[in-house]
């Protein structure tokens, strides 16, 4: 699967989160990744994340794939629906370093 720059950044960010949580006890890894994404990724980022997961083979770490089951889906009853289909690439750059 060929990813555009924005999607590639989402994959890289998610995998970096997984890499951090690999240093934690095994029982905390999946939950830790999901909690971090739920807390710090805004709904449009999570929407794009789920689109990539559903397309398959985006290059996510297996811990990220396992965490997808407990990551909040945008538009769920506890979340307002999103009206924008576009992710602003600047949003991914804010506070992110390689």
- Predicted TM-score (pTM) of the model is 0.73
Among residues 18, 22, 56, 53, the alpha carbon closest in space to that of 37 is found at 18
The pLDDT tens digits for 32-84 are 999 999 999 999 999 999 999 999 889 999 999 999 999 999 986 554 434 34
| Residue 34 structure tokens | 């999901």
CA distances from 9 to 6, 27, 75 (A): 5, 27, 23
């Amino acid at each position: 699967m060929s990813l555009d720059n924005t999607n590639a950044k989402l994959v890289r960010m998610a995998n970096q989160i997984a890499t951090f949580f690999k240093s934690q006890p095994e029982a905390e890894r999946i939950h830790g990744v999901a909690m971090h994404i739920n807390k710090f990724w805004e709904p449009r980022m999570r929407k794009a994340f789920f689109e990539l997961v559903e397309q398959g083979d985006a290059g996510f770490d297996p811990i990220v794939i396992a965490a997808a089951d407990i990551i909040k889906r945008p538009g769920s009853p506890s979340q307002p629906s999103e009206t924008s289909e576009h992710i602003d690439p600047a949003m991914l750059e804010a506070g992110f370093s390689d």
